[in-house]
Amino acid sequence: MRRIFGAILALTVFVSCKQDKVLVEDLVQAEPIEKPIVTHFGFNLDEFKVVHDTVRRGDSFGELMLKNKVDYPKITTVSENFKDTFDVRKIQVGKPYVILKSKDTSEVAEVFIYENDRINYTVVDLRDSVVAYKSKRKVKYVEREVAGVIHNNLSQTLDSLGVDYNVTIDLSEIYAWTIDFFRLERGDRFKVIYDERFINDSVYAGRGPIKAALFEHKGKPVYAFPYVTDSLKNILDYFDDEANNLRSTFLRAPIKFGYRLSSRYNLKRRIAYYGYKVRPHKGTDYAAPIGTPIIATADGTVTESTRRGGNGKYVKIRHNGTYSTQYLHMKRQKVKRGEFVRQGDVIGWVGMTGNTGGPHVCYRFWKNGRQVDPLREKLPAAEPIADSIKTGYLTYIEPLKEQLDCIEYIEPATEPEENLVTLNQ
């Protein structure tokens, strides 16, 4: 028995040693694993000492370069010769940047990379002759379909579906002339198709423009499809399924978001302070925090940008021979008399100049030289698609409309709130 046990033990040791020997031989003969090259912004980071930082208050491109041992001539070259590519005066606080330094003891900055946003960046190569150029990360586009039923407001509904807040803004701007987001009703529904952008397949980098949308308000469906009507000027508008332009000549309000309709046009208004005498209010007041941007509600030419009496600082715009608008009580104007402004351009900021009890913009609307209530006016719509390109448009939207119609609505998982809250509250 002892001999048998000893033989088994010897055999076990032999086999074990043989296996160990094979493993060692395998390790000796295996090819060495090469370390992967790490590239970022088109550079092999292993060749540099890498510094990641953000622009801080008081930083300038020149000071950052001097701290990293770049000489004056190169800094001057960048500042003077590459203004169109990289304007050193416009670097913004909070923007990230990367400095690639030499690996020797001098640690001189050889490359400066300024991240304009998550996708776009600017490279200033300081090696040898100075070069500056713009580039972008590789982006993957993933189409997303979203549908929802409103039981509180558009913003909260989209947020509950994990949708970028900017999609809410895009939708509200597309439908700004056809749907009053202050009067949404419980049960209103929407569908939207857009692209989400990703860097390295996983890092979210924002949304693309809306490809198609459907909003059902009070049971009435309104489709929206983008289409370029003038390829030379690259003019893009959104149209419905019958080629009608969704844009009106005028916006509904001179402020995009965060406002409250505090006082309407009222020719029979009586105020206690004045002994309840009739003091007509020929404007529409939109209350908003001081500094809120005020926008032009339509294209036009600035005829006045001044300060006068109870109006305070104001801007007046002539849009055509029929319509003019005026924007009162500004903190500051941004435009001057004679300037042409486009619909949506910022023309000033909400303030409290003139006779006012709180920060707001008093919006006045003229039609044929007479002040009228803009909320009661049937404002003219923008031009529909020209007949010459209408057939092409209808062919283009056909598959998009079918795709929208096939998307199913998703009811919220939680119980609806008792009160409907508007988009801007």
Looking at residue 31, its pLDDT comes to: 60
Looking at residue 378, its pLDDT comes to: 75
Q: 206 is written with which tokens?
A: 């924002």
Q: How far apart are CA 281 and CA 266, in angstroms?
A: 5
Looking at residue 239, its pLDDT comes to: 94
CB 117 within 8 A of CB 74: no
Output b/e per residue, 159-189; b: 16+ Cβ within 10 A. eeeebbeebbebbbebbbbbbebeebeeebb
Q: How far apart are CA 143 and CA 141, in angstroms?
A: 7
pLDDT of 62 higher than 50: yes
Write down how long the chain is.
Answer: 425
Global pTM? Answer: 0.60
Q: For residue 376, which amino acid is it?
A: R
pLDDT in tens, 177-207: 778 776 788 889 999 999 999 988 888 989 9
pLDDT of 419 higher than 50: no
Q: How far apart are CA 408 and CA 419, in angstroms?
A: 25
CB 374 within 8 A of CB 385: no
* SS3 of residue 405 by DSSP: helix
Hey, CA dihedral for 99, 102, 106, 110, is it positive or negative? negative
149 — pLDDT class (breaks 50, 70, 90):
very high
Q: For 401, phi and psi rounded to 5 degrees?
A: -65, -40
Q: How far apart are CA 97 and CA 92, in angstroms?
A: 11
CB 150 within 8 A of CB 183: no
pLDDT of 286 higher than 80: yes
* Alpha carbon distances (Å) from 84 to 88, 143, 315: 10, 34, 33
pLDDT in tens, 2-51: 454 444 444 444 444 444 444 444 444 556 666 666 678 889 989 999 99
Hey, CA dihedral for 14, 18, 19, 20, is it positive or negative? positive
pLDDT in tens, 242-285: 998 887 778 878 998 767 777 766 655 545 444 555 566 678 88
Q: 390 is written with which tokens?
A: 């209408």
pLDDT of 362 higher than 50: yes
β-strand partners of 362: 285, 328
Looking at residue 265, its pLDDT comes to: 65
Q: How far apart are the first and last CA of the chain?
A: 92
Q: How far apart are CA 422 and CA 184, in angstroms?
A: 7
CB 145 within 8 A of CB 132: no
**Chain CA centroid to CA 220, Å:** 28
Q: How far apart are CA 323 and CA 368, in angstroms?
A: 6
Q: Which domains does the chain have, with CATH numbers?
A: 39-136 (3.10.450.350), 140-248 (3.10.450.350), 260-372 (2.70.70.10)
355 — pLDDT class (breaks 50, 70, 90):
confident
Looking at residue 267, its pLDDT comes to: 56
Q: How far apart are CA 417 and CA 184, in angstroms?
A: 14
**Chain CA centroid to CA 291, Å:** 20
Mean confidence (pLDDT) of the chain? 83
Q: Stretch 142-170: mean pLDDT, rounded?
A: 90
Q: Nearest Cα to 188, choosing from 147, 164, 219, 165? A: 219
Q: How far apart are CA 173 and CA 167, in angstroms?
A: 10
Q: How far apart are CA 315 and CA 364, in angstroms?
A: 10
pLDDT in tens, 310-326: 899 999 999 888 889 99
pLDDT of 339 higher than 70: yes
215: CB partners within 8 A, 6+ apart: 171, 175, 179, 188, 189, 190, 221, 222, 224
Q: How far apart are CA 257 and CA 172, in angstroms?
A: 10
Q: How far apart are CA 346 and CA 327, in angstroms?
A: 12
